[in-house]
């Protein structure tokens, strides 16, 4: 085989692997609506009695509130223990403070959310999305993975520990937001406000985010647990062109629609700069490199050399372009009210997901430079910088405790840091800690990531048990004062 043929074979193989990795991460996020939940301590997950709304909303009526509060009685020991202080936040979110016996140990926070994205049976579900129907060892229902597995896994683990008479040395908090899918402005943000008022600083925060993937990344030998150490930033930008209206029979040389369309085209034809290798995505490939065979092991172990080449390859694919740069997506375009009237106003909205190596302001400056037309008004609707990259080195308490807990349960798994291309409400906690991690022990095999926010979302009964055991072990592992050796035995449940 010629050198050029060998190189082409390597790049084709590489493209398959990298595409698989980003597809997995991308499918873990979207936006949505409010639901409430029912809890059944015996079954573990009971979705049948969830209240639901049909549209994205921040309003829950009094009946829903009372139903939701009543459901938490499924954990009587949690609510009756003298070690646990419970506070209702924003009427529907919850903050638990679990007292530790050694107040000099910095507390941590376990974060989850009780709202879910919309679902209707007409979408093609095999079981009604709020029925909690069990089939072949799986419980089907909206929210089984996002994020009721964590909500109930945390509470059930704490219930078991308290029943056993366990008293933690390191105090910790549990935050359960009710509006994560619509940014967490009334849930997580108010939880942060209360913690700040009490002068709380956190050792780390653990939220949902990435998961265990098994058989999804082509060429990867064995499953991998990806722990999110950062999130991309986000911006929504509004472009507006305003002109005098006119009759279609006497059109001007340029219309508001034409000017705006040209501006949008310039944004699409001139993407943000390629930045692969300058953010935490580099860590993912470096940590997984040893689980690939040659030549991929060599390529991924030497990103100092191959990053530019990989970046050019990745940007060619829609599914992997998000690793490379800040992405630009024109999501709304509105203009015109009648076929024979030239509109005075044309508007477009652009959504950008900001790479860790860029700032919100840098992205806005590039948009202005690319549009380069004074007739186009550019406004920031909302946005925030990429989240700081949390530590994942050997001295990082939070990361190493999470890693240890994963390896206690899944010794054959490779643990690696990763980046969330979507957003969670954990970003509101960045003033309370520099260590925010995004991981839940959901186990994804081929076909499973598509269920996340899609149809037939489900969790196996075995995997839900693993959620409970994970948090059961994590809480105990956090009681140590210094980091352990890389691996030790699991706690008895």
Q: Which of 115, 146, 147, 281 is catalytic?
A: 115
Distance in angstroms (rounded) separating the CA atoms of residues 341 and 385 = 41
Closest by CA to 149, choosing from 112, 98, 191, 108, is: 112
For residue 254, indicate whether it is catalytic.
Answer: no
Distance in angstroms (rounded) separating the CA atoms of residues 28 and 448 = 10
Which three-class secondary structure string do you get for the chain?
Answer: CCHHHHHHHHHHHHHHHHHHHHHHHHCCCCCCCCECCECCCCCCCECCCCCECCCCCCCCCHHHHHHHHHHHHHCHHHHHCCCEEEEEECCCEEEEEECCCCCCCCCEEEEEECCCCCCCHHHCCCCCCCCCCEECCEEECCCCCCCHHHHHHHHHHHHHHHHCCCCCCCCEEEEEECCHHHCCCCCHHHHHHHHHHCCCCCCCEEEEEEEEECCCCCCCCCCEEEEEEEECEEEEEEEEEECCCEECCCCCCCCHHHHHHHHHHHHHHCCCCCCCCCCCHHHHHHHHHHHCCCCHHHHHHCHHHHHHHHHHHHCCCCCCHHHHCCEEEEEEEEECCCCCEECCEEEEEEEEEECCCCCHHHHHHHHHHHHCCCCEEEEEEEEECCCCCCCCCCCCHHHHHHHHHHHHHCCCCEEEEEEECCCCHHHHHCCCCCCEEEEEEEEECCCCHHHCCCCCCEEEHHHHHHHHHHHHHHHHHCCCCCCCCCCCCCCCC
Distance in angstroms (rounded) separating the CA atoms of residues 42 and 130 = 18
Parallel, antiparallel or unpaired: strands 458-460 and 138-140: antiparallel
338 by Cβ neighbours in 10 Å (0-12 / 13-18 / 19+) ranks as exposed
Q: How far, CA to CA in Å, does 364 sit from each of 323, 380, 381?
A: 20, 8, 12
Tokens 């991924």 locate to 300
Q: Which of 180, 231, 385, 457 is catalytic?
A: 180
Closest by CA to 418, choosing from 226, 290, 277, is: 226
For residue 147, indicate whether it is catalytic.
Answer: no
Distance in angstroms (rounded) separating the CA atoms of residues 269 and 252 = 26
Task: Just list the catalytic residues.
Answer: 115, 180
């Amino acid at each position: 085989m010629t050198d050029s043929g060998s190189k082409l074979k390597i790049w084709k193989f590489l493209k398959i692997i990298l595409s698989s990795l980003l597809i997995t991460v991308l499918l873990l996020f979207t936006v949505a609506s409010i639901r409430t939940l029912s809890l059944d301590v015996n079954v573990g997950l009971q979705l049948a009695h969830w209240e639901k709304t049909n549209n994205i909303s921040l309003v829950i009526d009094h009946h829903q509130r009372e139903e939701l509060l009543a459901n938490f009685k499924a954990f009587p020991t949690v609510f009756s223990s003298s070690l646990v202080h419970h506070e209702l936040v924003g009427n529907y979110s919850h903050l638990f403070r679990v007292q530790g016996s050694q107040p000099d140990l910095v507390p941590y926070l376990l974060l989850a959310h009780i709202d879910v994205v919309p679902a209707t049976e007409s979408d093609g579900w095999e079981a009604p999305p709020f029925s909690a129907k069990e089939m072949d060892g799986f419980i089907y229902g909206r929210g089984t993975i996002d994020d009721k597995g964590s909500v109930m896994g945390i509470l059930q683990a704490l219930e078991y520990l308290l029943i056993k008479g366990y008293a933690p040395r390191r105090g910790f908090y549990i935050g359960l937001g009710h509006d994560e899918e619509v940014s967490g402005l009334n849930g997580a943000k108010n939880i942060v406000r209360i913690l700040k008022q009490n002068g709380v600083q956190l050792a780390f925060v653990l939220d949902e985010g990435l998961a265990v993937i098994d058989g999804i990344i082509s060429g990867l030998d064995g499953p991998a647990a990806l722990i999110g150490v950062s999130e991309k930033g986000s911006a929504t930008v509004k472009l507006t062109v305003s002109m005098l209206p006119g009759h279609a029979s006497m059109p001007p040389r340029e219309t508001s629609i034409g000017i705006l369309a040209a501006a949008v085209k310039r944004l699409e034809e001139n993407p943000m700069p390629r930045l692969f290798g300058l953010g935490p995505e580099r860590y993912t490939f470096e940590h997984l490199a040893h689980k690939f065979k040659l030549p991929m092991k060599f390529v991924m172990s030497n990103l100092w050399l191959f990053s530019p080449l990989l970046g050019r390859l990745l940007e060619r694919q829609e599914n992997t372009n998000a690793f490379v740069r800040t992405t630009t997506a024109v999501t709304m375009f509105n203009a015109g009210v009648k076929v024979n009237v030239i509109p005075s106003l044309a508007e477009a909205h652009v959504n950008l997901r900001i790479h860790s190596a860029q700032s919100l302001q840098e992205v806005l400056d590039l948009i202005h430079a690319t549009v380069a037309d004074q007739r186009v008004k550019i406004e920031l609707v909302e946005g925030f910088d990429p989240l700081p990259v949390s530590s994942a080195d050997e001295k990082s308490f939070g990361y190493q405790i999470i890693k240890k807990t994963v390896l206690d349960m899944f010794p054959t798994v490779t643990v690696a840091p990763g980046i969330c291309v979507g957003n969670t409400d954990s970003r509101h906690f960045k003033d309370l800690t520099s260590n925010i991690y995004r991981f839940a022990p959901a186990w994804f095999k081929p076909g499973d990531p598509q269920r996340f926010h899609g149809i037939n979302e489900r969790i196996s009964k075995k995997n839900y048990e693993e959620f409970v055991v994970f948090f059961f072990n994590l809480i105990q592992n956090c009681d140590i004062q210094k980091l352990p050796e890389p691996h030790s035995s699991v706690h008895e449940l």
